[in-house]
Amino acid sequence: MIAKVLAPVVMVLAFGLAASDQAPRERVYVGEQACRRCHHQPGGRDQFSAWRLTKHAQAFAALSMPESREIAELSGIDTDPSKSRVCLGCHATAYDTEEWERDESFHFEDGVQCERCHGPGSEYMDADVMRDSTRAREAGLRMPQERDCLVCHKEKGSHSAVLGVKQFRFEAAVREIAHAGVGGPLDPTDRPTADTLPGPKYIGALGCGTCHGAQSGSRAYGTWRMSRHAAAYATLGTARAGEIAREMGVTGEPQGSDRCLACHTTGGGEPTGRFVESFDAAQGVQCESCHGPGSAYMAQAVMLDPVASADAGLIDVDRTICTRCHTEGIHGRTLDLEAAWPAIDHSAWKDVAQVEYKTPLNLAVTQDGRRLFVACEASNSLIIVDIERGTVSAEVAVGIQPHFVLLSADGTRAYVSNRGSDDVSVVDVSSLRVIATIAVGDEPHEMATNEAGTLLYVANAGTYDVSVVDVAAGKEAKRLAAARGPWGVARSPNGRDVYVTNNLPRYGAFRTPLTSEVTVIDAERSTVARRFTVPDANLIQGIAFEPSGEFALVTLIRTKNLVPMTRNVQGWIITNGVGVLWEDGRVDQLLLDEFNDFFADPTDVVFSHDGSYAFVTGGGVQEVAVIDVERLLQLLEHASPEDRAAVYPNHLGASAEFVVRRIGVGRSPRGMATSPDGRYVYVADGLDDAISVIDVARQERVRVIELGGPQEITQARYGERIFHDAQYTFARQFACHSCHPDGHVDGITYDIEPDGLGVNPVDNRTLRGVNDTSPFKWTGTNPTLTRQCGPRLAAFFTRTDPFTAEQSAALERYIVTIRRPPNRYRTGDELTPAQRRGKALFERLVDKSGNALAPTERCVFCHPPPYFTNRNTHDVGTASPLDTHSEFDVPHLNNIYASPPYLHDGRAHSLEEIWTLYNPHDTHGRTNDLTKAELNDLIEYVKTL
């Protein structure tokens, strides 16, 4: 009975809940044309024309300009600016949306349009909603504030370097873009539909832009959009236009005058039947004003055929066309055609001349000893060198940022790892053609095959794993977990093991000594067999087996990050050496440094064929150290276990016992290879674009082979050399590169200043894409990179004379060009369901109880796109007792997934920990109302930024 009575009540309640719970309609961007319907009232409140004459309306087109490419380069962006999410973030509207979030009437080409500032308009665009400001705001209408403008208009180093510093003043800017008013009534006299007339029709510039826009590799649309032609209609809405019209005897508003429109719009005066429905006269003097109505020639097949396109109406433009409107003395001026013609030229890209270096990083020698295969990072190529002649015999384009090259056992294939495109190029050694490209993990570095040559092991520094590639199938078979930043790979002489070095230390407890790892793979099973633990070391990169297989040598550095870096003058901040890995799991460490002459950045190691010598490149000192292996072993043999564990790893004098020579080579020596006959060691001199040839017997450099890089040394290249050179630090202990390998991070928290032991510990931050994210330093006190790397660096890091102004400028120039890798979690327009849910949380306005969030409780307030930083400092409750500050710089979030650990002192090992462990009071955004699944969603979205 009770159930019967209650049933209707339950139904009503359920229905009521369902009704009130109805999900709000998704807000969609509708584009300026939709806004224009109410906000373009000729002679009245003409907000459209005002906007159309601003740079905002040209913002997307500006990405077609050569300056944009230069700016992009200075931001570490190597893609077309019109395709870069960072560039589009400020030069377009709704760049961070999926296709479903944009109406068909929306066009990126319209640049920074109404909805960039006022929010997606689908739900407030209705005139009834707009008349009620409360309803309109509830429906998503935003009125921007100064901080919203500053997201894009705060001074950016890349833009200042190219365009000059342009101070942004909010009040002046608001006046400049002023478009006061509340809109007008819907225009009932929209262009009437008319019967289609025979003959070609005008399609409008947006139609042309589909193929002639920057995203299609053409600058034509952008150049036009930046020209006055594109503003020709909008300019009729100005007061000056009204005056001219009256002087010419035009009555009424110029934008309604056929006489004015004849020259200020395309097809002005033509009957409506000559236009396709989507044609937009307000775009001004468009492509078809000169080239003729395009409906018959717009098809690609027609356009590519000169005869067919001419037959279809495409006009071969000459200057007489201009004089149809630009008549002598019109509006008191006579057009200088000679000057005007080049100004609107849109026939080809005007690229900034690029100086392309080679930057050889690693190399391999063919079995006959005649050729070197050299992986060149800067030129994205594999260079083949004729050793006897000392010349480059071929250059093969491979993937992006090739790092390592390996020749197959049968010598028929060269495998090239490309850390910028996350793949391996397979090059046919005979034809010198890339015959396959195999996708692997993020940032692949060194490689080795199993003894049979059927499997290829690839160290993925970005994903902390090893790809096992089935060579015959040409695809990855599995991934094996390494430690962090796997880098070097070597197969043991007996073929049983593959050793993989790890560049970054393992995660450890806060402020505890480093521990790194060498991962050992069972080559028969392709499984991880064991892991060497290497205490107090990091940047374990190069590896080679002693020919008998008794042990392996690795290069390493030992970073004392728990004491202030200013202790550098005591000679004990970063020491450099090698590790000896014994098969039973023991590890010995020995330094290659001398008291006052360190051996910075040991990078690669090879053995002489008889195993009596080992050669180690010192990337920061331009030298190759020669180790007498027997003497090294004797030193260890006669040492007590305690000395081997605690003394020799730090002994700055021990190297005199076994380093028999340091051979000078070129700048930034990296990888090495020995000739098949064992007589020579070849060294890739990374920043000289050359190969040094070392005579093993004589232990000296006997020859240099140039790889054909440019002779000109650009400012950025000069800076790159400084970045990799330890001569700028006390006793040559380290280079910038020592803490920023690959321009990235070493994953370590440092104690930098002499303010007490462990006070103000700071996490090392990536240099990739850092340029426009000032201020720098975790406390946000350095407004520029020059300041960051200037006298402060000398005082706290290098402990030598500061860089000269020239050096400082060059270093900054290089740092800003460090390539920003593509985001691996956002390859296309579409988000995954989890990412989509996460985005909603990132941008949410209310908590899960429906309470409005304060601005500082919202993720997007401090982390607005496109850099996802508001470039201010905030106290998010993360200060620890070791900190003397509580406000920290808001880090940018681009590719944030790639640079753990997190927070200013690196205490969060994962993105999750930022909120699960270190945001107990919601001071770092409101997150404690989220379920774990929702927090997962949020993180999945953050990874896409």
Partner 1 sequence: MTMMGYRTFFVTVLSVAWAAGARGQSEGAPTLEGEPYVYTQWESFTSESTDGALVNDHIFFLEPDGDSLWIGTEGGLVLYHDGTWQSWTEADGLPWRVIMGIAKDRKTGDLWLALFGEGIARFSGGRFEHFTQMNSGLLNDVSYGIDIQGDNVWVASTAGISRYNQVTGEWAAFNEQHAPMEEVWTYNVSAAEDKVFFAVWGSGILEWDVATETWKDYLDPDGEMEIDLYRDDGLIHVITTSASYVDRVLWASTYFGLSRYDGRNWRGYLDHDSGLPSMFINQTVGRSGTSSYSATDKGLGVLADFASDTWVTYQRDDEDAATWTAHIMVGGDEVRAVPTDLDLPNHSVISVALMGADVWIGTGHGLARGIGTDFHEGLR
Specify the residue, 80 or 442, whose C-beta has the smaller distance to partner 1: 442
Task: Tokens 């006793």: give the residue.
Answer: 731
Which ranges in 32-91 belong to alpha helices (H)?
32-39, 47-52, 59-62, 66-73, 85-91
Single-letter residue type at 804: T
**Complex with partner 1: residue 186 or 481, whichever CB lies closer:** 481
Closer to partner 1 by Cβ: residue 838 or 891: 838
Nearer to partner 1, 417 or 463 (CB): 463
* In the complex, minimum distance from the CB of residue 479 to partner 1, in angstroms, rounded to a whole number: 5
CB closer to partner 1, 457 vs 814: 457
Nearer to partner 1 by Cβ, of 269 and 585: the residue is 585
Residue with smaller CB distance to partner 1, 64 or 516: 516
Q: How far is the CB of 919 from partner 1 (least distance, A)?
A: 12
Compute CA distances 245 → 46, 250, 252, 842, whole Å: 17, 5, 9, 51
Helices (H), 614-772: 629-637, 641-642, 655-658, 715-723, 736-739
Question: Comparing C-alpha atoms, which of 415, 417, 418 is closest to residue 429?
Answer: 415
Contact by Cβ (8 Å): 493, 452: no
C-beta of residue 107 within 8 angstroms of C-beta of residue 204: no
Smallest gap from Cβ 532 to partner 1, in A, equals 10
CB within 8 Å of 96: residues ≥ 6 apart:
85, 89, 865, 866
81 SS3 class: helix
175 or 932: CB nearest partner 1: 932
Name the residue nearer to partner 1 (CB basis): 695 or 913. 913
Secondary structure E strands in 70-164: none
- Cα separation of 617 and 624, whole Å? 4
Comparing CA positions, the residue from 598, 592, 610 lying closest to residue 657 is 592
Q: Which is nearer to partner 1, 517 or 725 (CB)?
A: 517
Shortest Cβ 443–partner 1 spacing (Å): 14
How many Å apart are CA 119 and CA 122, to the nearest integer?
A: 9
Give which of 340, 345, 346, 344 is closest to 326, Cα–Cα: 340
User: Given the complex with partner 1, which of 2 and 239 has the nearer CB atom?
Assistant: 2
Instruction: Say how many CA atoms lie within 13 Å of 4 toward its Cβ.
Output: 1
For residues 139 and 466, which CB has a smaller minimum distance to partner 1 in the complex? 466
- CA-based torsion, 933, 937, 940, 942: positive or negative: negative
Compute the half-sphere exposure of residue 806: CA atoms within 13 Å on the CB side of its CA.
4
- Closer by beta carbon to partner 1, 428 or else 470: 470
Closest approach, Cβ 456 to partner 1, in A, equals 16
Under the rule (CB under 8 A), what is the footprint of partner 1? 441, 463, 465, 478-481, 517, 519-520, 522, 525-531, 834, 909-910, 912-913, 916-917, 932-933, 936, 939-940
Omega before 775 cis (within 30°)? yes
Q: Is 880 helix (H, G, I), strand (E, B) or coil?
A: coil
Say which DSSP state 196 is in.
P
Measured from the CB atom, the residue of 451 and 912 that comes closer to partner 1 is 912
Least distance in angstroms from the C-beta of 425 to partner 1: 21
Element (H, E) at 301: helix 300-303
H/E element, 223: helix 220-226
Q: Closest approach of Cβ 410 to partner 1, in Å?
A: 27
Closest CB 409 distance from partner 1, rounded Å = 24
Rounded CA-CA distance 243/164 in Å is 35
Q: What is the DSSP code (8-state) at residue 215? A: G
The token pair at 569 is 């003058």
Quote the least distance from Cβ 14 to partner 1, whole Å.
17
Q: How far is the CB of 585 from partner 1 (least distance, A)?
A: 9
* Residue 393 zone, left/alpha/beta (φ > 0; ψ -120 to 50; rest): alpha
Assess contact for 466 and 474: CB atoms under 8 A: no
Query: What is the nearest approach in angstroms of partner 1 to the Cβ of residue 359?
Result: 30
Distance of closest approach, residue 690 Cβ to partner 1, in angstroms: 38
Tokens matching residue 831: 């988000």
**Which residue, 776 or 897, has its beta carbon nearer to partner 1?**
897
Instruction: Tokens 């991962």: give the residue.
Output: 519
Helix (H, G, I), strand (E, B) or coil at 108: helix
Whichever of 266 and 835 has its CB closer to partner 1, that residue is 835
User: What region does 703 belong to: left with phi over 0, alpha with psi -120 to 50, or beta?
Assistant: beta
Closest separation in Å from C-beta 362 to partner 1: 25
* Closest by CA position to 589, among listed 646, 659, 550: 646
Q: Min. distance of Cβ 932 from partner 1 in angstroms?
A: 5
User: Cα–Cα distances in Å, from 246 out to 235, 250, 254?
Assistant: 15, 5, 9
- Nearest distance in Å: CB 678, partner 1: 34
Question: How far, in Å, are 54, 148, 605, 632 from residue 174 at the CA level?
Answer: 11, 12, 61, 71
Q: How far is the CB of 875 from partner 1 (least distance, A)?
A: 23
- Is the Cβ of residue 227 or residue 450 nearer to partner 1 in the bound state? 450
Partners of 497 in the β-ladder: 522
Q: Residue 245 corresponds to which tokens in the numbers above? A: 């019209």
99 with 123: CB under 8 angstroms?
A: no
Contact (Cβ atoms closer than 8 angstroms) between residue 761 and residue 749: yes
Instruction: Report whether 456 contacts 469 (CB < 8 A).
Output: yes
Q: How far is the CB of 926 from partner 1 (least distance, A)?
A: 19
Please, what is the minimum distance in Å from the beta carbon of residue 7 to partner 1?
Answer: 18
Nearer to partner 1, 409 or 529 (CB): 529
HEC string of 766-789 equals CCCCCHHHCCECCCCCECCHHHHC
